[in-house]
Amino acid sequence: MSMTLQDCATVREGFPRPFPNTPTNVLEQFSLRGKVVVITGAADGIGYAVAEAMAEAGADIAMWYNSNDVAVAKAQSLSQEHNVKATAYKVDVSDPDTVQRRIQEVVTDFGKLDVFIANAGMAISKPLLQQTLEEYRKQMSVNGNVDGVLYCAKHAGDIFQRQGFGNLIITSSMSAQIVNVPVDQPVYNASKAFITHFGKSLAREWREFARVNIVSPGFFDTKMGASTETVQEAYRMTVLGRQGHTKEIKGLYLYLASDASTYMTGSDVIIDGGYVLP
Ligand SMILES: NC(=O)c1ccc[n+]([C@@H]2O[C@H](COP(=O)([O-])OP(=O)(O)OC[C@H]3O[C@@H](n4cnc5c(N)ncnc54)[C@H](OP(=O)(O)O)[C@@H]3O)[C@@H](O)[C@H]2O)c1
């Protein structure tokens, strides 16, 4: 740490870094033409909306799915509709060898990797005292919340470092920051807190070659959104009085994936209709 004004004034070699070659026109900044984007959990819900956003903005996309092979047909129709390359890959993100192999495959198929969106996740929403250790392990490791994000980050990061560029976006949750109500789900909340802080820490670690940002959704109307038992409370707690529609999250991911956000790294953006305000 600099202790005196004189210390602070020391000129450090290589600083300031040059500005990036970002277009000045804002709409050009948002174009993803020529970029390659991987999205995990891309068959449905938030991940599919994000895949759609990327294709609409011109990116070539690799849509990763686990069990829902509707991703294959959806990739074909996005490709035809938006004149981009779109391919579906079956990947269980809790298997590190498959993750590593698939990332390499994407680079072989597409030539490079510009953006990796680690979006897959799952929840077994229960109080700790009713949760088995197997369910705990499944959330932390087997099914993607912690280990899955880490495996994707590790192997995508290797590619980013080798290329000298890259962009990682992690889907976390507002539950990383608040103790969500009315369901007690400490393990899910804590798994999301892990990946939020992990992402911020990577933003520093990868500062020479890649950006890393986090998206923290509130309730969105998907399979992982509010259940029938909790939905009334979600409406009451959310300032806007409803869940989000997945089309309302597309712009945020596009912003983070694009050159419109070249000065943004290590940020955690909450998109929750005001849920965390009160
Ligand atoms: N909806 C909300 O209210 C909300 C709020 C905060 C955060 N989130 C987060 O948003 C992300 C997307 O969720 P969503 O709401 O869009 O629900 P969703 O449609 O159920 O999406 C979850 C996705 O995760 C994938 N997945 C689960 N386990 C996997 C594994 N082992 N390997 C690979 N993929 C796996 C699923 O793939 P398959 O279907 O192919 O198996 C599915 O596409 C999750 O990380 C979730 O925690 C959602």
Residue 192 annotated to the active site: yes
Please tell me the predicted confidence (pLDDT) of residue 8. Answer: 85
Please tell me the predicted confidence (pLDDT) of residue 119. Answer: 98
Q: Any idea what the Cα angle at residue 239 is, between residues 234 and 240, rounded to 5°?
A: 90
Cβ(45) – ligand 1 distance below 6 Å: yes
71 CA to middle of ligand 1, Å?
13
Residue-wise pLDDT tens digits, 72-105: 999 999 999 999 999 999 999 999 999 999 999 9
Name the helix (H) or strand (E) containing 212.
strand 211-217
- Tokens matching residue 49: 């909306």
**Region 240-262: what's the mean pLDDT?**
98
Looking up tokens 């290797």 gives 158
Q: To the nearest 5 percent, what fractions of the chain are helix, strand and coil?
A: 45, 15, 40
Residue 144 has pLDDT above 80, yes or no: no
Judge whether 262 and 22 are in contact, CB under 8 Å. Answer: yes
Distance CA 185, CA 125 (A): 5
Residue 216 has φ and ψ, to the nearest 5°, of -115, 95
Instruction: Check 192, 216, 253, 275 and give the catalytic one.
Output: 192
Which residues does 7 contact at the CB level (< 8 Å), separation at least 6?
A: none
Q: Report the 10 Å Cβ neighbour count for 241.
A: 11
**Region 11-39: what's the mean pLDDT?**
96
Question: CA nearest 215: which of 196, 201, 198?
Answer: 196
Q: Is the peptide bond before 18 cis (omega within 30 degrees of 0)?
A: no
Please tell me the predicted confidence (pLDDT) of residue 141. Answer: 87
Q: Which residues pair with 220 in a beta bridge?
A: 244
Residue 227 annotated to the active site: no
More confident residue, 10 or 135: 135
Please tell me the predicted confidence (pLDDT) of residue 22. Answer: 95
Instruction: Check 94, 125, 172, 173 and give the catalytic one.
Output: 173
Work out the pLDDT band at 143, boundaries 50, 70, 90: confident
Cβ(53) – ligand 1 distance below 6 Å: no
Q: What share of the chain has pLDDT > 90, as a percent?
A: 94
Residue-wise pLDDT tens digits, 160-203: 999 999 999 999 999 999 999 999 999 999 999 999 999 999 99
CA-derived radius of gyration, the chain? 19
Pocket test for ligand 1, best of 40, 44, 46, 52 (most atoms within 8 A of CB): 46
Residue 74 annotated to the active site: no
Report the Cα 43 to chain-centroid distance in Å.
Answer: 15
Q: Any idea what the Cα angle at residue 15 is, between residues 14 and 19, rounded to 5°?
A: 105
**Region 112-121: what's the mean pLDDT?**
98
**Region 146-161: what's the mean pLDDT?**
98
Domain map of the chain by residue range?
29-271
CATH 3.30.460.10, domain 29-271, yes or no: no
Please tell me the predicted confidence (pLDDT) of residue 154. Answer: 98
Looking up tokens 């305000």 gives 277
Please tell me the predicted confidence (pLDDT) of residue 62. Answer: 99
